[in-house]
Amino acid sequence: MLNKTIDETKQGTCLTADTIVLQTGYPQKFYIESYGCSMNFNDSEIVASILNKANFGVTKELEEADLILLNTCSIREKAEQTIRKRLTEFRKLKMRKPSTLVGILGCMAERMKTTLLEEEKLVDIVVGPDAYRSLPMLVKQAGHGQKGINVLLSREETYSDIAPVRLDNTGVSAYISIMRGCNNMCSFCVVPFTRGRERCRHFQSIMHEAEQLFQQGYKEVTLLGQNVDSYHYTDEATQETINFAQLLVKVAMISPLLRVRFSTSHPKDITNEVIQAIQQYDNICSYIHLPLQSGSTRILEKMNRTYSWEWYKERVDTIKALIPDCGLSADIITGFCSETEEDHQATLVAMRYCAYDMSYMFAYSERPGTYAQKKFADDVPDTVKKRRLQEIIELQNQLSLESYSKDIGKTFSVLIDGESKRSVADWKGRNSQNKTIVFPKKNNYKPGDFVNVLIHDCTQGTLLGTVQD
Ligand code: SAH
Ligand code: SF4
Ligand code: F3S
């Protein structure tokens, strides 16, 4: 995996139709594109399940769809611009085939509410992240020419009882959402407004989903939440409370052959218990994504991240002391309101200290309605943001190359997840530390198999090796 930079990455990626499994035998067809974070991708699988029950099967062909859906992201302005462009293209398609319904789901639907439907007339249906159960009814209404909108946020909805229909066809790795929403109020972030209050999914339903996936042959699950470390669940009957570390262990105990990952940890909440769980269970992957955002405590305060650089540094020290080979990555925002050269330098120093394997790096993008938009001036000029972002990217490239080079000569257990994008003669997979490893095909190994791979070369985003028998 190459270092991810700016918007076209993590929270701006799109699951295009070509990775989707075709569903036949349904009277009507829907096409879906997903943008944004893993949670949004997992939501599309919940939407697919709801639509299957309403007699819609997924198609890869835009032209044959009765219903076109965009599951959207609002995290940065550019993410929304991409969606607008797509909607304009769909409008052209609708002119050729007026019976096609176009719907917008997810965070941008929640943020824009009626605007795209009533003022801009770009869509027929608008459904926010907590209202997917009403999608079949809204599709029916829109088919009769009425407005199909539901953007109500909920304090309870977790879609616990809905078995997601896995849309990508690898059958190796799956996402499990363990909570929704976010109670943190980072001053730059739109998520609390688009996803609502934090709520945790029932422990039993998470376990049931993970067990089922393992029985179906999946070898890896990723537990998802905006702040997984604040997961907590109290059983009404027994009054037993389960925290995130305990959940992690219970999922890991399903089988040593099931890898467990999680995202995202918040530096203020990640506990020693979580770090110890990774240390103690081989199948809990040695990889932590720990968003830094900035290395300057002054900026962190302004961002309302509720930790200082010193706090973050201590968390990293503890991780490295307990799990010396732990993979570590971060999110970084550059050019936040009032950021000085000194603050920027502090971020570079922090990056060097943490020696991240990989980072998602973004220029600050002001979002309507956030605390930062209301109270602070977006006063770092674009040219400065771009230059600082470039410096951050260059440093990360260097750190990645150093980290990947250190793996030459080591042997890793790799879970094969598919063919290398570059060559049909090679498999690709990931090690526990979440590094992508590419190696020549051998001995009928296939996706879903664990193999030991000796590393003999690398780029800054990929380890290259050979299978050891
Ligand atoms: N819940 C996660 C992050 C979710 S959003 C956490 O707290 O770590 C993913 C990343 O997008 C954030 O970590 C941040 O780096 C980036 N991001 C969020 N809002 C942004 C904004 N307004 N401008 C630029 N990047 C932003
Ligand atoms: Fe946004 Fe902060 Fe919540 Fe992450 S923790 S989703 S950055 S408000
Ligand atoms: Fe984007 Fe919403 Fe996720 S804003 S990052 S899709 S929670």
- Residue 25 is assigned to a structural domain of this protein: yes
Residues 362 and 434 in one domain: no
The pLDDT of residue 231: 98
Mean pLDDT of 408-421: 97
Task: Give 139-191 pLDDT, tens digit per residue.
Answer: 999 999 888 999 999 999 999 999 999 987 689 999 999 999 999 999 999 99
Ligand 3 centroid to residue 193 C-alpha, Å: 10
The pLDDT of residue 25: 73
Ligand 3 centroid to residue 247 C-alpha, Å: 24
Ligand 3 centroid to residue 112 C-alpha, Å: 14
Ligand 2 centroid to residue 29 C-alpha, Å: 35
Ligand 3 centroid to residue 280 C-alpha, Å: 32
- Residue 159 is assigned to a structural domain of this protein: no
The pLDDT of residue 12: 41
Ligand 3 centroid to residue 170 C-alpha, Å: 24
Dump the DSSP string for 439-469. Answer: EE--TT--TT-EEEEEEEEE-SSEEEEEE--
Mean pLDDT of 431-447: 96
Residues 249 and 145 in one domain: no
Task: Give 93-125 pLDDT, tens digit per residue.
Answer: 988 899 999 999 999 999 999 898 887 788 999
Measured between alpha carbons, how far is 56 from 29 in angstroms, rounded to an integer?
5
Task: Give 301-314 pLDDT, tens digit per residue.
Answer: 999 999 999 999 99
Give the rounded percent of residues in the chain with a pLDDT score beyond 90. Answer: 87
Ligand 1 centroid to residue 293 C-alpha, Å: 8
Residues 319 and 212 in one domain: yes
Q: How many domains does the chain have?
A: 3
Residues 395 and 441 in one domain: no
The pLDDT of residue 237: 87
Q: Which CATH number do you get for residue 425?
A: 2.40.50.140
Q: Is 195 in the pocket of ligand 3 (CB under 6 A)?
A: yes
**Hey, how many other C-beta atoms are within 10 angstroms of the C-beta on 146?**
11
Q: Which atom of ligand 3 is nearest to the CA of 11?
A: 5
Q: Which CATH number do you get for residue 359?
A: 3.80.30.20
Residue 440: φ, ψ to 5°: -65, 145
Residues 139 and 200 in one domain: no
Task: Give 20-66 pLDDT, tens digit per residue.
Answer: 556 677 889 999 999 999 999 999 999 999 999 999 999 989 999 99
Task: Give 277-296 pLDDT, tens digit per residue.
Answer: 999 999 999 999 999 999 99
Ligand closest to the CA atom of residue 111: 3
Ligand 1 centroid to residue 195 C-alpha, Å: 14
The pLDDT of residue 189: 98
Output the CA–CA distances (angstroms, integers) from residue 263 to 23, 229, 404, in the order listed. 29, 9, 22
Length of the chain: 469
pTM comes to 0.94
Partners of residue 72 on adjacent β-strands = 106
Residues 339 and 419 in one domain: no
Q: Which residues of 8-30 are buried (b: 16+ CB within 10 A; e: fewer)?
A: eebbbbbbebeebeebeebeebb
Ligand 2 centroid to residue 186 C-alpha, Å: 6
Residues 373 and 436 in one domain: no
pLDDT band at 250 (very low <50, low <70, confident <90, very high): very high
182, 194, 307: which to mutate for ligand 2, most atoms within 8 A of CB?
Answer: 182
Last residue of a domain, one of 405, 427, 455: 405
Whether residue 385 has pLDDT greater than 70 = yes
DSSP 3: P
- Residue 160 is assigned to a structural domain of this protein: no
The pLDDT of residue 21: 58
Domain containing residue 446:
411-467
Whether residue 9 has pLDDT greater than 90 = no
Mean pLDDT of 388-394: 98
Measured between alpha carbons, how far is 463 from 307 in angstroms, rounded to an integer?
34
Mean pLDDT of 335-341: 98
Residues 397 and 418 in one domain: no
Measured between alpha carbons, how far is 110 from 74 in angstroms, rounded to an integer?
9
The pLDDT of residue 121: 83
- Residue 288 is assigned to a structural domain of this protein: yes
Last residue of a domain, one of 115, 150, 185: 150
Measured between alpha carbons, how far is 198 from 179 in angstroms, rounded to an integer?
7
pLDDT band at 322 (very low <50, low <70, confident <90, very high): very high
Nearest CA to ligand 2 atom 5: 184
- Residue 427 is assigned to a structural domain of this protein: yes
Higher-scoring residue by pLDDT: 414, 23: 414
Whether residue 5 has pLDDT greater than 60 = no
Ligand 1 centroid to residue 372 C-alpha, Å: 13
Residues 109 and 195 in one domain: no
- Residue 202 is assigned to a structural domain of this protein: yes
The pLDDT of residue 7: 35
Would you report the helix, strand and coil content of the chain in percent, each value rounded to 5?
35, 25, 40
Q: Which CATH number do you get for residue 63?
A: 3.40.50.12160
198, 269, 270, 331: which to mutate for ligand 1, most atoms within 8 A of CB?
Answer: 331
Residues 295 and 400 in one domain: yes
**By the 8 A CB rule, do 295 and 346 touch?**
yes
Work out whether strand 67-72 and strand 28-35 pair parallel, antiparallel, or are unpaired.
parallel
Residues 430 and 393 in one domain: no
Last residue of a domain, one of 370, 389, 405: 405
Measured between alpha carbons, how far is 422 from 248 in angstroms, rounded to an integer?
35
Q: Which atom of ligand 3 is nearest to the CA of 39?
A: 3
> SS3 for 437?
strand
Ligand 2 centroid to residue 84 C-alpha, Å: 24
The pLDDT of residue 14: 46
- Residue 32 is assigned to a structural domain of this protein: yes
The pLDDT of residue 167: 86
User: What residues flank ligand 1, with Cβ below 6 Å?
Assistant: 11, 75-76, 188-189, 191, 226-227, 264, 266, 291, 293, 331, 333, 362, 364-365, 367
The pLDDT of residue 151: 94
Mean pLDDT of 195-217: 96
Residues 293 and 307 in one domain: yes
Q: Is 40 in the pocket of ligand 3 (CB under 6 A)?
A: yes
The pLDDT of residue 58: 94
User: What residues flank ligand 2, with Cβ below 6 Å?
Assistant: 182, 184, 186, 189, 191-192, 226-227, 266
- Residue 355 is assigned to a structural domain of this protein: yes
pLDDT band at 4 (very low <50, low <70, confident <90, very high): very low
40, 362, 378: which to mutate for ligand 1, most atoms within 8 A of CB?
Answer: 362
227, 269, 299: which to mutate for ligand 2, most atoms within 8 A of CB?
Answer: 227
Ligand closest to the CA atom of residue 333: 1
